[in-house]
Amino acid sequence: MTGPSRGLPHPLLEAHGRAVSATSASTATSTSTSTEDCAPRGRRRRQSGALERRLSHVTDVEEASRLVECSQIQRQLHFQQLVRRYMSQILYGCTNAHCTTTTCLSCKRRLPSRPFRAPTQLTARALAHFLASQDDPHAGLCPNQPNVSASALEIEGVDGIAITREEGRKETICNVYPVVRPLFHTSISGPEAPNSSTAGAHHIQPVRERTGKALKEERTNPVWAALDTRHQAKKDVRSLGQNLYDTVAVIYSYSKQIPSALSVFSSLRALHSPRPNDTRNHDSRSPSVNGLSTDTSKPDPLGHANGHAVLPHVNGNPTPGHVTSKNLPRSNMSRHRSSSQNMSQEILRNGRRIHRIHHQPEHVPNGQAVLKSQDTGAFGDGNRERLLAHSPKMKQKPLSLVQNGAPKIDPTNVTPLSARQDEGKATPSESSRTSSESSGRPVLPVASYLDCQIMDQLKDEVYHHRNQQSSDFNFVVDYDTNARFRPAKPFVNRSIFFTLSDPDTLLQSFYSPDNGAYQTSPLPHLDSTRLAHTFRDWNRRNGALIFDSLWIAVKALFVPPPELDVQKSPRLKAALRSPSLTGTTPDPPATPKSEEASGRFISDEEAAHIVMICVHALTSLVPVGWPHSWVQVRKFRSWGIILPDAPPHTDFTDGFADPVLSTIDELEYEPALRLADRLVRGIGARLCFEEILVNLGHQKKDNRFFQRCCPGLIPTLVGHLIEVERIAVENKRRMKTKLNYDEDPGWTVTATFMEWLRTIVIKKWDGKAEVNRWTSVGAAIRILQEFYDNRELLNLRTSMFHMPYINEHIDNVDEPMKFLERNRTINTFHLLEYPFLFTSRDLVAHFRTMNFTRMYKEFEQTDRAVHLQREMDPFLREPYWWLIRSRLKVTFTDYFVLDIRRKHALEDTLNQLWGQEKRLLMKPLKVKMGQQEGEVGLDQGGVTYEFFRVVMSDAFDPDKGMFTIDPSTRMTWFHPATVEPARKFEMLGILFSLAVYNGITLPVTFPLCFYNYLLHGPPQALMVTNDIRDGWPELAKSLDQMISWEDGDVGDVFMRSYTFSYDAFGANVDFDILGYWHPRYTEDGVLEPHEPPMVTNANRKEFVQNYIYWLTTGSVLPQLDAFRNGFLTCLHPTSLELFEPSSLRALIEGSQEVSISALKAVTHYEEGYNATHATIVDFWSVVETYSNDDRKKLLEFVTASDRVPVTGFETMSFSIVRNGGESDMLPTSSTCFGKLMLPQYADKEKLRTKLGLAIQNCKGFGVV
């Protein structure tokens, strides 16, 4: 599925997105800053820090990884390193002469498939950005030492981050945004005095507007010179890709210098901390970051690319020279010397050298600890997540999520998360904390936890106009800097990221202890009704921040249980290592000795808490819209279509946007898609952990994992969603909203989350019918299966699960046969194992493909045997051929032929079926009907239908004593007191199997419990009255009345004994149910007779369950077993997994409702007739007056079947042929071809009379 996207497809690409839009971002920064400084000072004072002073649970951010700015910088830096590493291996190769990495230059030189041509800078740039933006960006990295260091691609002096102090405010505001100072001429507007209200505001003039001397001076700038050398000399000016990747913005994105997030964090705390002797006349420049000047008033001195001399071009590529200590900048020389002193070398057996560098943390001015980097990418499994994700670990288990409510949190006594560290540990940021304590307020304040009320308060902390927005927000939070106004304040963004990105803090948030409506839910502390409104409209305030934050927190789902950590193989751990960004293989991580080192395993209840928060964030993003608009959205997206072909709507002057477009836009929002994908993969990882432990032999009773995880993650989610939908329906009823359960439910939490799951399936599916069970696609389908099983409780419709897109992209001939022949594996499944994804028509097509393919194999085998016989005729004499033909009679037979007399149809059929080989039954069926009695019908399909109609009507005749028919519903059922042997029922089962195998619709009517037995055998669970309502509605109604009776004891009112009653050829028989289950014997071993007890209020539920069992199974068990054995004769048991009881009944019985409008739409006309002919108009006017029984007779007269097949009228052949002019002949038909021969009668009444006589007397084949 492809469509419009408002963001880049991967979190690491955000750095690239910012670089491409650096020019517009910097311009907007200048304008916003200058406008803000010109705003009234009183307004700024009233808005500054209002909420953070009112909240009592405000804490200080003391870890760089918990600050949103540092997290974004870390992602920029990681993506830049990936691009540089790829460019280095593409352009310069590695030191290994036997490299096998396909994108490495060394490999290409060694294995050239054509004359070698070195890649250009432009090619390397485009390929590097593509590889770095994949789901697993480290997969293509070369593991060997590169020839040229990736840092050589950096241009010294080009700062990627600028941190300044704005003056003229009561509180210090810092700017964190990417700048391209060498590309602009920056001048300070207004007076230069520090006391000026416009101090620190810069007017930036774009380069394209400057000409003459100013432009010439800038072109002589060393940065311009370095950038010019990296441009492609020759390129296709009409190529969008070449022009894009050769722009200054793209080159700048991987060439700029980005400081570490820890350095930015230290600088932010230093800027926010009050300084001694702070006056209005201090210097406006901020301290340096990582040795890079952060003063934006003048450009830094520039040199060559990262201090390396540039050699002459080799194949059009500038090659950095050899890096020595002389070439290094002064700021890097000490670093180079220290690293060389702490480096040791080890030579392995295979000759590979490993350089080990003993890391020593650098001195940080404020004493901060080394930064724990954030998650840097979404990977395929939980193991890779653990190796690459180094975000803050979950220190300890939070307050447990108990069933009777959540712990009450006192907002006035909330301890910051950083204070939970051991007392013996050195706490970070001592100097900054001291300064914050002395000032009485946090340096970087955030809310320590969130709930619905706090989130609603944070929604109000916005800038109401761009002129009021601080330049502190210019650090891009969204993926599109020009999307729309993002008015959230810095305190809001930092608080949301602080809470939603940390699993421990998220587990302590969104508690509603007094939540009475959800007391029966597995998650009683979550008020999903309020959460659905709490997360709404946040993307208009801070863009993708909520989705990016939750994306980080979802990593907790990938932590395996401690039982699995013991089982992990050391070889597996080594195999999961990925190449480092410097080109060397990293050392294996130290074995975690505690939960704090590796992240603790959370229970399924805690995991469900995190998942439900993510679900509400995803579903609240999508607008509610209109119910009919959701019907269109679901229909189009099920086919993989985002926008249908329609003329574009370009007039938006009225400010109105179609709800369909708004819904589609949000479902295609890239940050939300990334969160949904990782969330589903996390659920799949949890399912994988549970499956592994089951296979390892862990039992629930003595395993802590099962004690913590029971009843399971998905059942917990489904149970909570059932309560969510129940409360939503009750609220609609309370508001007297009209509910129609046959229509689309519109926007609901479950239905919208289901739409996200379907989007993940369509976008991430690789087009193969074999799906990995633990990937996002496999996990999404398994969640959909749980939703489908509980669709009534979740207020979902069956049609909402159909995805024709899948059926259109698989092989409809080969895949059904592969499904039959495949061996089940634990790690994969076939899409046909989940039939709810397919429409009923698609399932029938796959089922018949399986049967016809098997039938064709038998027919093909016969054809080969006949061909061999012809080849052997000249060499064998007749006596030998007679023996061969007698032994190979079945092999040489093309069809399975039944020669039946109409008057003895059932007897002849059972006799001819008895004792036949199975391979003969697998051949195509041909029937000779009544030929011994003078009929001349030739079987081209119509005779077969007539044969089954006659045989079934004879077999199900109640006078035969094998079946009974309910007088009200006309349902057929087995006779409990039959005297017929079981083999007859087995023969009837074979007859059913032959009909289904050959694609024949049968004129029978059975209840659903019959088809449930055919599919699954004896029922495994207790049956309820709904299971018999379609077959015995009056009985089900009386049993329901007995269960719900409250006016006294049912024993005094109903006077019912604990027996099962049935009619046996006119005699009423009462079967003692309790006597059968609990027989009583005398001392001599003789069965002791006793009177059955009465049904009372105490045992009425048990009686109803036992009565239904004996009605549907116990009393007719021998007949059911024999019939089921015969039914499975021609059908592969695996092929029946495509059906449910209702769909199997539709396949066998078809539909008894004949729609004249639908029949009229598929009718063809021949021999001069057409839809407007007078005779045809009279014909349809007569037929429309028929009752449903007469319509069935007309259908049977033309097609030999009175049922509409499960595939509908579209697959039927119904034609009206002109049979001469005015005549007294009756209409005739050719049932094999579905043709009605209708004479051109003079008037309508004559047509009515003749047609009525024909359809009422339509038995037999011959000439009239």
Task: Give the residue numbers annotated as catalytic, written as ranges.
Answer: 1232
Residue type, 1178: D
Residue found under tokens 């020759």: 234
Contacts 24+ apart (CB under 8 A), 120-123: 120/232, 120/315, 120/316, 120/317, 121/91, 121/230, 121/232, 121/316, 121/317, 121/318, 122/232, 122/235, 122/242, 122/245, 122/246, 123/90
Q: What is the 3-state secondary structure (H, E, C) of 4-23?
A: CCCCCCCHHHHHHHHHHCHH
User: In whole angstroms, what is the distance from residue 250 CA to residue 1058 CA?
Assistant: 83
Q: β-pairing, 896-900 with 925-929?
A: parallel
What b/e string do you get for 604-640 counting C-beta neighbours within 10 Å, with b at 16 or more?
A: bbbbbbbbbbbbbbbbbbbbbbeeebbbbbbbebbeb
User: In whole angstroms, what is the distance from residue 606 CA to residue 612 CA?
Assistant: 10
What b/e string do you get for 513-547 counting C-beta neighbours within 10 Å, with b at 16 or more?
A: eebebbeebbbbbbbbbbbbebbbebbebbbbbbb
Q: Minimal CA–CA distance to 602: which of 569, 555, 546?
A: 555
**Helix intervals (H) in 896-981:** 905-913, 918-921, 942-955
What b/e string do you get for 1092-1101 counting C-beta neighbours within 10 Å, with b at 16 or more?
A: eebbeeebbe
Task: List the beta bridge partners of residue 164.
Answer: 175
- Is the preceding omega at residue 711 within 30 degrees of 0, hence cis? yes
Task: List the beta bridge partners of residue 1230.
Answer: 1235
Do residues 677 and 378 touch, judged by C-beta distance below 8 A? yes
Structure token digits, residue 358 = 């003993």
Task: List the beta bridge partners of residue 59.
Answer: 446
**Hey, which bits of 388-482 come out as E strands?**
445-447
Percentages (nearest 5) of helix, strand, coil residues in the chain: 50, 10, 45
**Helix intervals (H) in 356-429:** 382-388
Other C-beta atoms closer than 10 Å to the C-beta of 1074 total 17
Q: Minimal CA–CA distance to 34: which of 142, 196, 181?
A: 196
User: In whole angstroms, what is the distance from residue 401 CA to residue 610 CA?
Assistant: 12
Burial category of 761 from C-beta neighbours within 10 Å (exposed 0-12, middle 13-18, buried 19 and up): buried
Three-class SS state of 1050: helix
User: In whole angstroms, what is the distance from residue 75 CA to residue 15 CA?
Assistant: 7
- CA distance between the termini of the chain: 59
* DSSP per-residue letters across 679-713: HHHHHHHHHHHHHHHHHTT--STT-HHHHHHTT-H
DSSP code for 1087: B
Structure token digits, residue 722 = 């059932």
Q: Minimal CA–CA distance to 606: which of 500, 709, 532?
A: 709
Other C-beta atoms closer than 10 Å to the C-beta of 1134 total 16
Do residues 930 and 902 touch, judged by C-beta distance below 8 A? yes
